[in-house]
Structure 1
Amino acid sequence: MKLSNGRWRGLAFVDIETNGGVATVDGITEVGIVEVDEDGVREWSQLIRPEGRIPEFIQRLTGISNEMVADAPRFAEVAEEIYNRLDGRLFIAHNARFDYGFLRNAFERVGLPLRPPVLCTVKLSRALFPEHRRHGLDALIERHGLVVGDRHRALADAQLVWQFWQLIHRQLDGELIDTTIARLLGRPALPPHLDPSIIDELPETPGVYLFFGENDLPLYVGKSKDIRTRVLSHFSADHSSAKEMSLSQQLRRIEWIETAGEVGALLLEAKLVKERQPIHNRRLRRSSGLCAWQLVADGEGGWRPVLVRGPDLDPGRQDNLFGFFTSQTAATKALRTLADEHALCQACLGLEKVRSGQPCFGYQIKRCKGACIGAESRGLHGARLMMALQKLRVERWPYAGPVGLREGEALHVVDNWCWLGTARSEDEVHALLESGRPAFDLDVWKILTKALAKGRVVKLGAAGAVGG
């Protein structure tokens, strides 16, 4: 079996126990590591005192009590030793996302960045034994006859993963195992002009990433709930997509900005695409022809549509606004379609010019009810027009003033469907409110209409104070 391959100098079979399931909040209570390299096999374990208490049900599951960890070291006290045991090795764990996620967060809190290649033996088992449905550790114990020690203790479970590793290398073809591991590790062929070290720095957090070409030409802005995974996916796809291949060949540099969550990433992506105008972002690079229909009184008891364009658009404050269109042509086409579907008078809508008192073309072919010649009252025609437009209605801003949309520790400050920015303190909120509102952005509006409906909205009081 391969213990090293140039990318790592040995193997580390890892398991941890915790006092909860959230890596950014809960703490590690025990670490177990089996180190395997050319010098042999070494085992190490350590109880750790977490910040919070261990819940009763976890004590029953693991056998680790609050009394057992009362005199144990904090993670920071043993971080360097654990780091040295993992650094430069292939990190192997069952459900590795859990173990690696906790350890990475713990290391980051003490200023030690952990970036080993990570292999999950749940995924490895699924790939090597696809005929089986269950691949949890208990299923592997039963199926392969693994020798169980103190189940749900860190070192004992790490030993089980090491046993599984030895078993597959005894039973299966080594080339098959190596090929499967290489695929699961997903290390793509990197773009030829990109510094390979940047890949190990990419965070597994929500945010926005920016690709740059020669002379810092903006190539692409993207967003993801996991920046690292999304960036690497660009490179693994470059053989099958002409766009990805072109992007890979042009790429010289990557930047990224971490956000509190997905909403922050969406908002920042929309903003940066407008500012940077990257050549590979076409969807969000909207033209300046944005417009909408607004109904105004026609003076005869009815309504007539008026096209409101670009800088005159203020959806948060304007009444009777309908639809967003990227051009006057698109807006006119949509209105004509509604006129045909609802037998509306195109002359009254301003879509057709006729002399006063003369019938429009639609009336002559029985597609208009005669508002143009008084056969239908302007009031009734206006009411039917209003009903026809309802599916395109743009809601006014539903709050008395600016609000904050809470996402983790961040607060997205929003006013009249415009994103002012993201704050992490009351001073920052106040500064954003003082900065003025940006121009209306359709992409931001789409993001906010969904996010405000589902998210935690807080009122912003005087001087930017955050209310309940």
Structure 2
Amino acid sequence: MSLPRRLAVIDVESTGAHPVRDRITEIAILRIEAGEVVARWESLVAPGQPIPPLIEQVTGISDAMVADAPSFEAVAGTVAALLEDCVFVAHSARFDFAFIKNAFARIGRTFDAPVLCTVKLSRALFPEHHRHGLDALIERHQLVCEARHRAMGDVEVLWQFVRQVEAAFPPEVLARAAERAMKAPVLPPGLPEGMLEAVPDVSGLYLFHATEEPPANGRRDPPLFVGRAQSLRARVREHFAPNVRKGRDAELAARVKRVEWIETAGELDTSLQELALLRTLRPPYNRAQEPAEGAFALRLLANRRRAPIYDSVPIAGTDPAGWEDLYGVFRNHREADNLLRELAMLYRLCPRRLGLEGGNGPCTAHAARRCAGVCAGRESIAEHDARLAGALAGVGIKPWPWAGAVRVAEHHPASGRSRHHVFDRWCFLGSAADEAAAAALAATAPRVFDVDIWRLLGRWLTVPAHLQQLSPLPAGEA
């Protein structure tokens, strides 16, 4: 036969996407033998933990609905009988398989079965398409779903899909596709079954941990690594692909025992949350973050005869509205020296007067005709320093383009998440869930300069399309 003779088409709904920590709330199973449905069963399941509001919104399953439902232990015998001697068929099958396997393990029973993933089956049969999620299959194949995100509704869709491809493809083609769809993935040694399949295909941040369970007190334990991605699922899988496991990457992959993720509303939301996590958690496999507390700008000292001819003025944590006659934004003195060397080359400035070279008399650049000669009496200090001030004028913080605070609205259609970020004079005032809360931030939050936020926002604003997400707040709210 093109497909295995006994199939159990199954779908589970749950309190979340984590196959170890979350619990089943509903199960539906169609047992198929020789192409005929021989058993149909569905049941709500008491999860023993609250159903998060977002999950309730998606599935329609509430705490009240499962309050009197049987526990998994009570239905385990029925589930085992329906799955016995069958190929386990589900969409992103390792996800559902992990929930069933872990549910059996928690009551002291073992479970195993050959698994056929209908996502992989669709990819094998329809490689010309890029999307193979259940909604994509429903639209592409005109399948009928009576109750999306309810277990039996999704199971019925999968059974329609299976019958449709059996009718559309020669048995040998379908058999080869089924073989590919049943091929077990190479699992990372430290991760539980179904963990990679549980990671959503949305943008956000992912955290790799060296422990299987988070701390019991509910606090976030320090991760090994924090990463970002437009597709969390694809990026996380890349870390565990055998062909990329080399050196430090291989060491990281071998240590990971838990994956957590944070879904975000968009690119700016991802960047802001990533910066906060890297600063507070300091993951050892990320590049070390240089402290931003030492940021400074330069203030030229008029008519100063000897170097240094400028002061380093601390600006971290200050309000840019109070800055006067400041040039540049530097995280450390290395950055400042590098800029001054570049300006010296471009504008024939004197390295000795800029404090980049010691000694007396003409500087080395003057001998090479790269200095106009303030060190050799060929030009006045006033002329040299005026040229320096002109060169520095284009360096550092540009004028804030708006009259007051602005709101950046981000919304991710796949996750449904929305965030409103508020900025003023290059300072981040905070993020809010709606416009009203954003306006309140603009009216009350202080402006505190952060060099990393300034650079992050500056990069984000260079993309013209991003400006469409930005709205100046009324002057009375800023």
TM normalised by structure 2 equals: 0.58
Deviation at 1:275, TM superposition (A): 0.8
Which of 454, 469, 473 is 1:445 aligned to?
Answer: 454
In structure 2, the partner of 1:339 is 344
Aligned pair in 2 of structure 1 residues 431, 291: CA closer, same or farther (>3 Å)? closer
Q: Does 1:154 align with 2:122?
A: no
State the Cα deviation string for residues 325-378 of structure 1 (Å, max 9, x = none): 5532343234224313432112332323556xx433433443211223542244
In structure 1, the partner of 2:431 is 422
Deviation at 1:380, TM superposition (A): 4.0
State the Cα deviation string for residues 98-130 of structure 1 (Å, max 9, x = none): xxxxxxxxxxxxxxxxxx955166742465xxx
SS of 1:449 mapped into structure 2: helix
In structure 2, the partner of 1:170 is 171
SS of 1:412 mapped into structure 2: strand
Deviation at 1:189, TM superposition (A): 0.9
Q: Distance in 2 between matches of 1:447 and 1:298?
A: 33
Which of 204, 221, 226 is 2:201 aligned to?
Answer: 204
Among all aligned residue pairs of Structure 1 and Structure 2, give the percentage whose two residues are the same amino acid. Answer: 27
Q: Does 1:37 align with 2:32?
A: yes
Aligned pair in 2 of structure 1 residues 223, 36: CA closer, same or farther (>3 Å)? same
CA contact (8 A) 2:328 2:396 kept: yes
SS of 1:196 mapped into structure 2: coil
Aligned pair in 2 of structure 1 residues 135, 291: CA closer, same or farther (>3 Å)? closer
Aligned pair in 2 of structure 1 residues 136, 281: CA closer, same or farther (>3 Å)? closer
State the Cα deviation string for residues 392-426 of structure 1 (Å, max 9, x = none): 44323333333211112321122332323210132
Q: Distance in 2 between matches of 1:188 and 1:429?
A: 50
Superposed, which structure 2 residues align to 1:30-429 within 5 Å?
Answer: 37-38=32-33, 40-41=35-36, 89-91=89-91, 119=119, 123-125=123-125, 153-154=142-143, 162-165=163-166, 168=169, 170-172=171-173, 174=175, 176-178=176-178, 180-181=180-181, 187=185, 189-192=187-190, 194-196=191-193, 198-199=195-196, 201-214=198-211, 216-236=221-241, 240-282=245-287, 285-287=289-291, 291=295, 293-296=297-300, 298-299=302-303, 304-309=309-314, 311=316, 318=323, 324-353=329-358, 358-386=361-389, 388-389=391-392, 392-408=395-411, 409-425=418-434, 426-427=436-437, 429=439
Structure 1, 272-281 or 341-350: larger mean CA deviation: 341-350
CA contact (8 A) 2:239 2:245 kept: no
Deviation at 1:9, TM superposition (A): 2.8
SS of 2:285 mapped into structure 1: coil
Which of 453, 457, 464 is 2:470 aligned to?
Answer: 457
In structure 2, the partner of 1:84 is none
Deviation at 1:298, TM superposition (A): 2.1
Aligned pair in 2 of structure 1 residues 418, 189: CA closer, same or farther (>3 Å)? farther
SS of 1:256 mapped into structure 2: strand
Q: Distance in 2 between matches of 1:231 and 1:155?
A: 33
SS of 1:205 mapped into structure 2: coil
Deviation at 1:282, TM superposition (A): 0.6
Q: Distance in 2 between matches of 1:241 and 1:182?
A: 28
Aligned pair in 2 of structure 1 residues 424, 118: CA closer, same or farther (>3 Å)? farther
| Unmatched 5+ stretches in structure 1 | 13-34, 43-74, 81-87, 93-115, 128-133, 138-150
Deviation at 1:264, TM superposition (A): 0.5
SS of 1:9 mapped into structure 2: strand
Letter of the 1:207 partner, please give it.
G
Higher relative contact order (CA 8 A, sep 6+): 2
TM normalised by structure 1 equals: 0.59
CA contact (8 A) 2:407 2:471 kept: yes
CA contact (8 A) 1:291 1:331 kept: no
State the Cα deviation string for residues 151-210 of structure 1 (Å, max 9, x = none): 974369997885545665624494x53564367xx9551342x34355454333332222
RMSD over equivalenced CA pairs, Å: 4.8
Instruction: State how many pairs are aligned.
Output: 355
Q: Distance in 2 between matches of 1:347 and 1:222?
A: 44
| Unmatched 5+ stretches in structure 2 | 12-29, 38-57, 66-87, 93-115, 132-139, 146-156, 216-220, 412-417
SS of 1:218 mapped into structure 2: coil
Deviation at 1:288, TM superposition (A): 5.0
State the Cα deviation string for residues 242-282 of structure 1 (Å, max 9, x = none): 33332233223333332222210111011110011111111
SS of 1:248 mapped into structure 2: helix
Aligned pair in 2 of structure 1 residues 201, 4: CA closer, same or farther (>3 Å)? farther
CA contact (8 A) 1:210 1:256 kept: yes
Deviation at 1:439, TM superposition (A): 5.3
Q: Distance in 2 between matches of 1:423 and 1:382?
A: 46
